[in-house]
Chains A and B, each alone.
Chain A
Amino acid sequence: MIDLEALKLAYIFIVDLLAVFAVYLIVNYTLGLEYGKSGIPNFGKVLSIAAGAFVAGSIPGRLLAQIYDMYGGIEGIRDPVIADCVTGLSPQKPQILQGMDYIEDNVVIVTCLNRVLSNDPLASLTVLLFTMLVAAGAGAGLGFIASYPALRLREDYLAMTLLAFGEFLTAIGYYQREIVGGTLGVSTIDPFGWAGGYRFLTATLFITLMAALVAVYVFFISKSPLGRVLRAMRDQEVAADVLGKDIVALRRNVLMVSSALASVAGALWAFYAGGIIATSYDRVSWTFLPWVMVILGGAGNDLGILLGTGIYWAARKLVDQYKGLLEPILPFSVIWLDRLVFGILLIAILILRPQGVLPEKPIYPLGKNRVDKIIENLRNRG
């Protein structure tokens, strides 16, 4: 006899794990692009991720509410589904019939919009893709602005500047209620609602697909001439400069592209979670932890990043599973324990195995066989 309840729990566990894994995979691949391939220490990863999440939390909902005339009061709403929904919810909050505010009446607006979206997969998909595009644009723009002051200076100045901009954006999200509700947060509209009971599965599969696309993109960059230029810049900046490669432009472009992708990850995570609260977009979760995963797996190795992300989330979920056992013994909250352990682990890796679990492998632009043949020929001649 199969225990259905346990099976269901396992299914939820796996879907949830896969979603967070895939989101972090996108983030970590962009960090791998910045640090592993180009040597840019982006200590402000949270900037682009928070930007994407803030876009998802504030823009599509507002626009849709505008399109469906939800701000003006019940008389202005032409769509029957939304009018029904608002009237249905009005007993609890009568003033919504007069007019609504995106932040104050966020729950009403999002609930009613979701009713429309859940019957219209095409519109949902359009909203999703539109948000991803806007998030990518916002990420790229912020990546440009945040790196601009220090792009020409030594890497440590760049690291400090990026960190400062990341803190700035999270502070704005936290204190400015108009963007994503400040400390109270907002709900995001649900572009996966049409999948009904398979909503979380669909969302997870979509995020995984995106992560796979980003991974393929990064794999291609590794093998491409661009990848070699980036490595040259990382290892011998002066040589790359002398040979006519514009270091400043390369760094800027890498930061813009990876910020755009990380921003999309932030937006997807906000949609998956169904809501966003500025406090959860902090330096530790979205800057420090990606660094732990990337260094752990091997920053210069594309498979290493996959492995590092996997190791971290497997360990983290394991701790979460046994939280109930640990919590009574420990005189403090368990989340600090795993951060403490991973911090120590990161220092140990940097000292003992700086290349990570999977070290960077040499690339053979011509293919290994041809390189071997050239070496062979040289030997025979010499």
Chain B
Amino acid sequence: MVIDPLTRDALIYASSLSMLSLGLTLTYLTTKVPNFVHGSLATVGSYVLLTFVAVFNLDAYLSLPVAFLLGGLVSAALYLLALRPLINRGAGLLPQMIATIAFELVLLSALNIYADIITRTFKVQARDVLLRRFDVQIPGVGPGVLVASLAMVAVTTITLAVLLYRTRFGVAMRAAIENPMLAGTLGVNVKLVYLFSWFLAGGLAGASGVLLGLHYQQDPAFGSRMLVSIFASSILGGLSSIYGGWLGGFFIGLTEIYGIFQLSRLVGSWILPYRIIFPLLIMSATLLIFPQGLVGLQRYISQGLRIKAAGIIK
């Protein structure tokens, strides 16, 4: 079975977007601040990949754990160095948001500096570079990144489900997110849980960056440009459940790729670069019609059904 390029493109993009919006939702649940750096955390992963394959001639997939670790560390640094001091000072939502854009400024510059350095030191192209040739080809399926993307989603989903619902740490984590004061009173180390959440979200972003980097042309602002799609996915998901973010990511990712393809057949290929119209419209529509997103919608419907059921029983 050979998967056609459009479906392949859509699945790879949607898988990574799904992981990214899951992570964004996770950090939003803990500190209640939208992380404007999240897209660039993926770029960190992409540059780890670039360093592995183009500078050191290593296997592409070996970079996954390193990208996970580095993405996680950068994200944890954002939380520890910028957000936690602000929270300790009692700063509100706005200063925290501004701190994340300040960090984005720092990270974008750092990525550009890194790109300059590897270009000059190793004579390796580090901007507008396509790394597909470093991917493995799986006979009958296509590029390995497709399988790896779907595997990442599956592994992450199962691991998170087990972690959150089957371990003591997961229970503590959910408690700390649900009611930090109460959890703190009961001896849960809320700050550690938050730190871990930020690390995990960054790690997933870093890993997504590797997979995106194996398929799409890379430059230091690549992840940053995905930010709108990540926000749209998380808002569609409702920003209140990580599985909402997961679902929102898949929905927006598939809509973006298939939608723009269908539209280009209707109106011509000039429309292709305007993919951003889909996340923008879906995001606006969500905010106008059901601002609590898919999760809120699901809650609303199930409540409605319950009321209906109660009516029938009466």
Q: Which residues of A contact B (CB under 8 A)?
A: 35, 39, 41, 43, 148-150, 153-157, 159-161, 163-165, 167-168, 171-172, 174-175, 283-284, 287-288, 291-292, 295, 331-333, 336-337, 339-340, 342-344, 346-347, 350-351, 354
Q: How far is the CB of A281 from chain B (nearest CB, A)?
A: 14
- Select from chain A the residue with minimum beta-carbon distance to B107: A343
User: Which of B45-53, B156-164, B277-285, B294-302 participates in binding chain A?
Assistant: B277-285
Residue B212, interface by CB 8 Å: no
Judged by DSSP, the binding face of A is: helix
7 contacts between A and B (CB under 8 A): A155-B97, A156-B34, A168-B228, A168-B277, A343-B102, A343-B103, A351-B85
B279 touches A35 (CB 8 A): no
Q: How large is the interface on B (under 10, 10 to 19, 20 to 34, 35 or more residues)?
A: 35 or more
Contact B274 A339 (CB under 8 A): no
Contact across chains for A35 and B94 when beta carbons are under 8 A apart: yes
In the bound complex, residues from chain B placing their C-beta under 8 Å from that of A156 are 32-34, 93, 97
Looking at A43, A155, A156, A337, the one whose CB has the most chain B CB atoms below 10 A away is A156
CA distance A297 to B81 in the complex (A): 22
* Distance from A222 Cβ to chain B, minimum over Cβ atoms (Å): 19
Cα–Cα distance between A287 and B105 once the two chains are bound (Å)? 11
Q: In whole angstroms, what is the CA distance A223 to B291 when docked?
A: 36
Q: Which residue of A lies closest to B101 (CB)?
A: A288
- In the bound complex, residues from chain B placing their C-beta under 8 Å from that of A343 are 102-106, 109
- CB nearest to A339 among chain B residues: B109
A347 engages B106 (CB within 8 Å): yes
Binds A, one of B7-15, B61-69, B110-118, B185-193: B110-118
A336 proximity list for chain B (CB < 8 A): 109-110, 112-113, 116
Query: Do A157 and B287 have beta carbons less than 8 Å apart?
Result: yes
Q: 3 shortest A-B CB distances, which residue pairs? A: A343-B105, A332-B116, A343-B106
Report A236 CB to chain B, min CB distance, Å: 13
A150 to B287 CA separation, bound complex (whole angstroms):
6
Name B's A-contacting residues (CB within 8 A): 32-34, 36, 81-82, 85-86, 89, 91, 93-95, 97-99, 101-106, 108-110, 112-113, 116-117, 120-121, 224-225, 227-228, 231-232, 235, 273-274, 276-277, 279-280, 283-285, 287-288, 291
User: In the complex, what distance in Å separates the CA atom of A131 from the CA atom of B228?
Assistant: 31
A339 to B273, CA, bound (A): 28
- A171: nearest chain-B partner, CB-CB: B276
How far, in whole Å, are A351 and B95 apart by their CA atoms in the complex?
A: 9
Chain A residues with Cβ below 8 Å from B81 are: 347
For the A-B complex with A164-B232, A337-B113, A343-B103 known, give 8 more contacts whose Cβ atoms are closer than 8 Å. Answer: A153-B291, A155-B94, A164-B228, A291-B101, A291-B102, A336-B110, A343-B109, A351-B85
Q: How far is the CA of A43 from the CA of B287 in the complex (A)?
A: 17
Residues of B within 8 A of A153 (CB): 287, 291
- In the complex the two chains form, is B95's CB within 8 Å of A350's CB? yes
Q: How many Å lie between the Cα of A41 and that of B98 in the bound state? A: 8
Least CB distance, B40 to chain A, in whole angstroms: 12
Taking CB atoms, residues of chain A closer than 8 Å to B32 are 156
Distance of A155 from chain B, by nearest CB (Å): 6
Distance, CA A156 to CA B287, complexed state (A): 12
A159 to B100 Cα, complex, angstroms = 12
Cβ contact within 8 Å between A333 and B101: no
